[in-house]
A and B are shown apart, each in its own frame.
Chain A
Amino acid sequence: MKTIKNIGLVIFLIGLATFTSLTFIGSFKVTSGVFDDYVTSKNIQSEIFINDINTNLVDKEFNGIAGLASVVSAALENANTQHRKNKEYKKVIYTKPSDMAAEIGKKSGIGFIVNNKGLMWFLTFGLGIIGALLFIVPDVVLLGKKGIKNDGIYHQNSTNRGWIAWLVFIFLVSFYILLYFFSEYTVNWTYLVDPISESLSGNPAGHWFVYGFMYCVVMTIMAVRMYIKYRHNTYQMVRTTSVLFFQIVFAFLLPEIMVRLQMPYYDFKNAFPLDYDFFFQWNLKSLINTGGIGLFILVWGIVLTLVIVPVMVYFFGKRWYCSWVCGCGGLAETLGDPYRQHSSKSLFSWKIERWLVHLVLVFAVTMTLMTLYSFFTDENTILGIKTQTVQNSYSVLIGAIFAGVIGTGFYPIFGNRVWCRFGCPLAAYLGFVQRFKSRFRITTNGGQCISCGNCSTYCEQGIDVRAYAQKGENIVRSSCVGCGVCSAVCPRGVLKLENGPEKGRINPTQVLLGNDVDLMDLVNKK
């Protein structure tokens, strides 16, 4: 069994290495046809740029996308500088060099990778999947009897912030930086999943398709791990299945199929303000212009945020969204599960959390109000601030850096819910409802707590669960996503997630059940 695991690890690493190497290998040759089409489609006016590219790029073979990208980037910069100098502003090209290189590169791949998409898929995704499963599945036997399986978590390098954890950290951070800021390096990855994308939406894959596909693959594999690890715990099994279903069907398949049916690309479960660009002008216009289905999506999106989300939180707590439906939550609960113990439980972190997550919510709401104001009045600035600038900074700072690079990249070091805890504006909104108007709570079972600290250690949201449990007090915290792991790891059966009457839900106590009843009355009366 151990051998199978090790073989699996080697196969997985080969797949991962091949996948990584694709960022700098592969041949590219831009034909004049491709470039001419690009110029036409983007309506590029700059003859300096066109000449430059025709001389230095077209029909030349590049090994690795980097060379191609640097030519594009240099040509762009050169052309734009000259046009600006000559005040020919109409000729200035506003496309980002990296987007341009990605788009041209996508159509210009030649050689082995492009001609063997299936094989290359197998050598990357295929080996990764097979290897990971070989690594994970033997745990059915190796983990022994069903029960809590946390042995050695703090002895292992990978789960105790050792060098493996730091390597994973570097890999994830780099991956997200490429994805958000240097998409030209992901062109080879898109070839691997072209056949899948074409069978779904009819279009070749872009880098966001790669990401979506990978997201589903990673979640599925790591869900297998969850199923094995928590096989004694029905709550975890059901929850994992739910979150996987919503990712694959709602976030991945449905939007692609909708594109095939000439509908807008839309993830029906992605609620504003997590879906921060829902009210952006381009989105509203595209929804309005697609007729019936577009209007339906518009109404659905508003009803989802204003009615469905809070009503569901009232009945079930924010867990129905954050750990049963949400994609970010889904990745955190599968890929992130081995790192859940790293969230900081200090009071200081809780203070930072409250400031940060609520500020992001304010940011998101302000931006959206500005957006709507601009949309309805056609004014591009409010109080001298450009709406577009606010939108762009939100997209980069919150959408890309916080949610992506930090949110997922920091898993191995700061735990799996960095984004959900410190950054997600939707979580902040749901948190208000959960804290002040909800039937959800984690019930503390009388006087049974022994203060061992397993609950706090494994709380991914950094809640000091024990602080409540050892006082016999129910846990009602806005940040709780209801993953249920505190209840699972408790050795004494103290914690239970449940939805019940609001009365008595919050029950601050000083003396716990089991002591003298008169003393309890005396001390606990308010």
Chain B
Amino acid sequence: MEHIVIIGNGIAGVSAARHIRKLSDKKITLISAETEYFFSRTALMYVYMGHMKFEHTQPYENWFWKKNKINLTQGYVIHIDTSKREVILENSTIFYDKLIIATGSKPNKFGWPGQDLKGVQGLYSKQDLDKLEQNAPNKEVCKRAVIVGGGLIGIEMAEMLRSRKIPVTFLVRETSFWNGVLPKGESELINEHILEHHIDLRLDTNLKEIIADENGFTKAVVTDKGDTIACTVVGLTAGVSPNVDFLKDTGIEIGRGVKVNRFLETNSKDIYAIGDCAEQREAIGQRRPIEAVWYTGRMMGETVAQTICGNPIEYKPGHWFNSAKFLDIEYQTYGWVFSDRIKQEYEEHFHWRHAKEKICITIAFHKETKQFLGVNTFGIRMRHEIFDRWLTQEKKIDYVLEYLKDANFDPEFYKQYEVQIISKYNAEYGTTISAKKKSWKRIFNNA
């Protein structure tokens, strides 16, 4: 029986294992150094905040693995011998017929002085969560935390610490939060929201060094503005990069991540890489070659399972989408809305923001053809299926606005803003669009 070995039990590895099991009777072994059972990394924050216990982050009950004959092995892989087809762990070796590398990411460190002091940590793994619980159990032990890096993990970490009333200083390299990704209006809305949560947001500020006390614990950070901020915890959240160092002398080709072709195959026969650690040789569409996103990990797992089970299939992700939550504000995106920094020359934005609430929407469209390119919403939920369909059908922005009610996914009885959004658009572009009533027929029958 063919033995499929998967390194990493995150969403990518587990999706691959599940789908291989659905398609075949192959022997499957899932190796992890992090935890015995699969858990949802994105939910770690809720454990610290007391919304959930760690076991609630585990999507499958513990009997699931045995029942589905997925062997779980705990251990740290130090080397892969591709000629002997062996995965070498610290205390054992495992023979494989096919190997899937799904080792995810690790937090970036940019060689800051003091970056390895006690009290300095990232937020990625279960171990990081445990560490944070130790470093910052409450506001008495942790008088102040400084977070370095204005991305999604940074703002999550700020939210976590604030849930225990710990004072937080948030150093963001950019002049406005996440403005490498978000257009100006939205980025500003989040800046305001961060301040509302009593987070000391310092834009356009970089970390220079972290200072230790006499016991090697973090005492303060120094910024490039010359400020010294006393703190006991430093969160390093300046992005992640593929966790592939252990592959160095294996002959498997590595760039920033493990280089793969569209079949998710590496240069080494019968070895595949999926998820955060995989790097496409050529970017797919406007996607980045490395995508550290939950659902892309899952999709690569779904795809590679087909290939491994005798139905070779290219990885062809559909239209870009994503979502996140910034403190209390939910964010969704479908299609491409680029930030002002990397906006395409043909891309035009229509932006509407609620007068009082933290609710806004940005629609990107083609200047000349008026083709709808993408949408960002803050505080409004949208229907994935509808936008996916509109993107495929290359609808015009006028159409999208006219039928915007079909796409609304907010809970029942919520206030809806389509009329206001459309009237602003009409005023700006001299159009006379009016909102069509929501139609189940259109939503479900592809009419």
- Sample of 28 A–B contacts (CB below 8 Å): A145-B196, A145-B328, A148-B328, A150-B49, A234-B411, A445-B381, A445-B383, A447-B321, A448-B295, A450-B294, A451-B43, A452-B46, A453-B43, A454-B52, A457-B51, A457-B52, A489-B51, A492-B323, A497-B412, A501-B444, A503-B444, A510-B19, A512-B298, A513-B318, A514-B299, A514-B384, A515-B302, A516-B317
The answer to whether B318 and A516 have CB atoms under 8 Å apart is yes
Per the bound structure, the CA–CA distance linking A454 and B294 in Å amounts to 16
Interface residues of A (CB under 8 A from B): 144-148, 150-156, 232-235, 237-238, 346-347, 443, 445-448, 450-454, 456-457, 466-467, 470, 484, 487-489, 491-493, 496-498, 500-501, 503-504, 510-519, 522-523
**Shortest beta-carbon distance from A43 to chain B in Å:** 57
Partner of A153, one of B50, B314, B327, B384: B50
Binary contact track B304-344/A, C-beta < 8 Å → 1, others 0: 00100001011111110101110110101000000000000
Given contacts A150-B50, A513-B388, A516-B317, contact A457 B413 (CB under 8 A): no
Given A451-B42, A488-B411, A497-B412, CB of A519 within 8 Å of CB of B61: no
Q: Which residue of B lies closest to A235 (CB)?
A: B411
Residues of chain B lying within 8 A (CB to CB) of residue A233: 411
| Shortest Cβ-Cβ A-B pairs, 6 listed | A446-B384, A147-B328, A493-B381, A452-B43, A516-B316, A234-B413
Give B111 Cβ to nearest chain A Cβ, in Å: 31
Complex Cα distance, B22 from A153, in Å, reads: 38
Partner of B411, one of A497, A503, A512: A497
The reply to whether the CB of B443 lies closer than 8 angstroms to some CB of chain A is yes
Q: Determine the residue in chain A with the shortest Cβ distance to B160.
A: A151
> Which of B22, B42, B51, B410 has a CB less than 8 Å from the CB of A150?
B51
Residues of A within 8 A of B306 (CB): 519, 522-523
In the complex, are the beta carbons of A151 and B197 less than 8 A apart?
A: no
Least Cβ–Cβ distance between A452 and chain B, in angstroms: 4
- Shortest CB–CB separation between residue B167 and chain A, in angstroms? 15
Q: Identify 17 new A-B residue pairs, CB closer than 8 A, beyond the known A144-B197, A514-B384, A516-B303.
A: A145-B196, A148-B328, A152-B163, A154-B50, A446-B384, A447-B384, A453-B43, A453-B52, A454-B43, A492-B323, A492-B332, A493-B381, A497-B412, A514-B317, A516-B299, A518-B313, A519-B306
Closest to B11 in A: A451
From DSSP, what is the main secondary structure of chain A's interface residues?
Answer: loop
Question: Is there a chain A Cβ closer than 8 Å to B385's Cβ?
Answer: yes
Tell me whether A234 and B321 are in contact (CB under 8 A): no
Residue of B nearest to A156 (CB): B50
Contact of B415 with A by CB under 8 A = yes
In the complex, the answer to whether A446 meets B22 with C-beta atoms within 8 Å is: no
Residues of B near any A CB (own CB < 8 A): 11, 19, 22, 40, 42-43, 46-47, 49-53, 56-59, 61, 163, 196-197, 294-295, 298-299, 302-303, 306, 311, 313-319, 321, 323-325, 327-328, 330, 332, 381-385, 388, 409-415, 440-441, 443-444
Q: How far is the CB of A313 from chain B (nearest CB, A)?
A: 17
Chain B residues in 8 Å Cβ range of A447: 295, 298-299, 321, 384
Q: How many A-B residue pairs have CB under 8 A?
A: 181
Asked whether, in the complex, the Cβ of A451 is within 8 Å of the Cβ of B295, the reply is: no
Name A496's contact: one of B11, B52, B295, B381 (CB within 8 Å). Answer: B381
Q: Which residue of A150, A153, A446, A450 is within 8 Å of B321 (Cβ)?
A: A446
Whether B385 pairs with A513 at a CB distance below 8 angstroms is yes
Give the most central of A150, A152, A153, A515: most B CB within 10 Å.
A515
Closest-by-CB residue of B relative to A238 is B413
CB-CB under 8 A for A235 and B414, given A151-B163, A514-B319, A515-B317: yes
Bound-state CA distance A447–B58 (Å) is 19
Chain B residues contacting A467 (CB-CB under 8 Å) are 59
Inter-chain CA distance A467–B40, complex, in Å, is 13
Smallest Cβ-Cβ distance to A146: which chain B residue: B328
**Given the contacts A450-B40, A452-B42, A152 and B50 also touching, CB distance less than 8 Å:** yes
**Complex Cα spacing A513 to B319, Å:** 9
Give the distance in Å from the alpha carbon of A454 to the alpha carbon of B52 in the complex.
Answer: 7
A151→B51 contact, CB < 8 A = yes
CA distance A522 to B324 in the complex (A): 30
A146 to B412, CA, bound (A): 18
CA distance A514 to B319 in the complex (A): 6
Does A466 contact B59, Cβ atoms closer than 8 Å? Answer: yes
Tell me how far the C-beta of B446 lies from the nearest C-beta in chain A, rounded to whole angstroms. 11
A82 to B370, CA, bound (A): 98
Assess A492 versus B46: contact at CB under 8 Å? Given A445-B384, A450-B294, A500-B440: no
- Partner of B56 from the list A445, A456, A487, A523 (CB cut-off 8 Å) is A456
Which residues of B sit under 8 angstroms from A145, Cβ to Cβ? 196-197, 327-328
Q: Which residues in B have their C-beta under 8 angstroms from that of A451?
A: 11, 40, 42-43, 59, 294
In the bound complex, residues from chain B placing their C-beta under 8 Å from that of A496 are 381, 409-412
Residue of A nearest to B380 (CB): A493
CB contacts (< 8 Å) of B49 on chain A: these are 150-152
Q: With CB as the reference atom, state the residue of chain B lying closest to A444.
A: B384
A493-B327 in contact (CB<8A) = no
| Known contacts A155-B50, A156-B50; is-contact A453 B415 (Cβ 8 Å) | no
Say whether B444 contacts A448, CB under 8 Å. no
Q: CA of A154 to CA of B411 in the docked complex: distance in angstroms?
A: 26
B46, B163, B299, B382 — which one has the most chain A CB atoms within 10 A of its CB? B46
Partner of B299, one of A148, A446, A515: A515
Contacts of A513 in B (CB 8 A): 318, 384-385, 388
On whether the beta carbons of A519 and B330 are closer than 8 Å, the reply is: no
Question: For B22, B316, B332, B412, which residue has the most chain A Cβ atoms within 10 angstroms?
Answer: B412
CB proximity of A400 to chain B, nearest CB, Å? 34
How many Å lie between the Cα of A293 and that of B306 in the bound state? 68
Asked if residues A234 and B414 are in contact (CB atoms below 8 Å), the reply is yes
Q: What residues of B have a CB within 8 angstroms of the CB of A487 in the complex?
A: 411
Q: Are B411 and A457 closer than 8 Å at their CB atoms?
A: no
Residue of A nearest to B55 (CB): A453
In the complex, what distance in Å separates the CA atom of A457 from the CA atom of B49? 14
Quick one: closest A residue to B156, CB to CB?
A: A491
Contacts of A492 in B (CB 8 A): 323-325, 330, 332
* B40 close to A452 (CB less than 8 A): yes
Complex CA distance for A92 and B413, rounded to whole angstroms: 61
Q: What CA separation (Å) do A256 and B62 show in the bound complex?
A: 53
Given A234-B411, A515-B317, answer yes or no on A493-B323 (Cβ-Cβ < 8 Å): yes
